[in-house]
Each structure stands twice: as C-alpha cells, then as structure tokens.
C-alpha cells in the first residue's frame, strides 16, 4: 500500500536535492507538485540595519572598516572592502546608538557564506555567525534589536501656543 507520493525529485525537476511526500487530507495520493520551499533556518529574527563596524582577521592585527546589512542575535551580514573565505575567523566591533550615547559590542565570528562583489563600491558581502560574544554584549545587542522591533508613537512636547489653542 502506498502511503504517499513524493514530489518529483529536484533532480527530475532539473534541481539538486530530494523529493518530499505529498498527501491529501484524506490520506490518498495526490498529484505531484513542483516548486521550491525556502524555510527560514535562523534561530533569531534578523533586522535590516546599516551599522559601522571595525574588523580584523583573528590571525592579524590590521583593522579595517565595513558595515552591516542586517543583524540578529546569532550573527551579521557584512559589507567588507576585501573578500573573505568561508571559515575565516574575524574579530568585529559593531557601533550603534543606544540613547543617549554611542555604544559598541565586540564579538568573534566565523564567515559562513560569501558572495561576489557588487555595487559601485565593489563591497564584498558575507554572513558571519557569532562564535564568542560576552553575555553583556549579547544583552546590549538584543536590547538594541528589540528597540527596532518595538513600535512606539512619536514623542511630542506641545508648545505653549498649542496648549492654549481651543477649537
């Protein structure tokens, strides 16, 4: 007895990978379906945020500048002025505004993916996963990111003329 049918394998569809079972609500076989589903594998939500960074390779003391493309509690997407190899270790200092001052955190991270340079500045984009971050710095980062996800009404102080105005 056939329990289910498999999607055509990605190879059959011209793509690498495996097939997935297809079942109708009544447990009967259903038609094969084609498509690719991209499930989010991140453990932490990410936020599009452009923050300045200072970084160096773990085996070098030369410091370079770059910036983030997004951030989460587990890693960063970076724009760097030089190519990185997957597996490279980095020391990164991220700067951000934490009312009423400029704050920073320091992390060690590992490059987990890279892309070819793009844009007119030829930035090299890569993703890094934190390998070492102090609990205090992780708390600072999470508080900063939580502040980005909280919708707050604008803070306004009425002027004295607005307080006296009555329609």
Residue 67: CB atoms within 10 A of its CB come to 17
pLDDT of 86 above 60: yes
Looking up residue 112, the CATH number of its domain turns out to be 2.40.10.220
Question: Residue 154 falls within a domain, yes or no?
Answer: no
pLDDT of 22 above 70: no
SS3 109: strand
What DSSP designation does 4 have?
-
Bridge partners, residue 95, by sequence: 104
pLDDT of 89 above 90: yes
Alpha-carbon gap, residue 10 to 17, rounded angstroms: 5
What is the average pLDDT across 44-57? 90
pLDDT of 82 above 50: yes
Do 142 and 64 belong to one domain? yes
Instruction: Look at residue 15 in the predicted model and tell me its pLDDT.
Output: 47
What DSSP designation does 118 have?
B
pTM to 2 decimal places: 0.64
pLDDT of 52 above 50: yes
Question: Residue 163 falls within a domain, yes or no?
Answer: no
Alpha-carbon gap, residue 142 to 156, rounded angstroms: 27
Domain ranges, residue 35: 1-39
Instruction: Look at residue 2 in the predicted model and tell me its pLDDT.
Output: 41
For 100-122, write each residue's pLDDT tens digit: 778 899 999 999 999 877 666 67
- The bridge status of strand 47-48 relative to strand 89-98 is unpaired
H or E element at residue 161? helix 160-164
Quote the number of domains for the chain: 2
Burial of 107 (0-12, 13-18, 19+ CB in 10 A): buried
Instruction: Look at residue 102 in the predicted model and tell me its pLDDT.
Output: 81
Burial of 102 (0-12, 13-18, 19+ CB in 10 A): exposed
pLDDT of 17 above 70: no
Which of these ranges, 48-52, 53-57, 134-138, 145-149, has the smallest mean pLDDT? 145-149
Do 77 and 101 belong to one domain? yes
Report which listed range, 70-84, 87-101, 112-126, is most confident.
70-84
Do 22 and 77 belong to one domain? no
Instruction: Look at residue 139 in the predicted model and tell me its pLDDT.
Output: 92
């Amino acid at each position: 007895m056939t329990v289910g049918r498999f999607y055509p394998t990605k190879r059959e569809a011209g793509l690498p990978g495996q097939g997935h079972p297809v079942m109708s609500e009544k447990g009967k076989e259903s038609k094969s379906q084609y498509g690719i589903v991209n499930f989010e594998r991140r453990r932490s939500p990410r936020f599009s945020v452009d923050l300045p960074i200072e970084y160096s390779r773990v085996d070098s003391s030369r410091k370079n500048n770059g910036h983030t493309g997004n951030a989460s509690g587990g890693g960063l997407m970076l724009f760097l002025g030089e190519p990185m190899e997957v597996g490279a270790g980095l020391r990164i200092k991220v700067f951000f505004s934490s009312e009423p001052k400029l704050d920073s955190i320091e992390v060690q991270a590992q490059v987990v993916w890279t892309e070819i340079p793009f844009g007119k500045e030829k930035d090299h984009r890569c993703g890094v996963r934190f390998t070492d971050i102090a609990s205090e710095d992780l708390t600072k980062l999470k508080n900063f990111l939580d502040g980005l996800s909280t919708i707050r009404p604008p803070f306004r102080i009425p002027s004295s003329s607005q307080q006296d105005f009555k329609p």
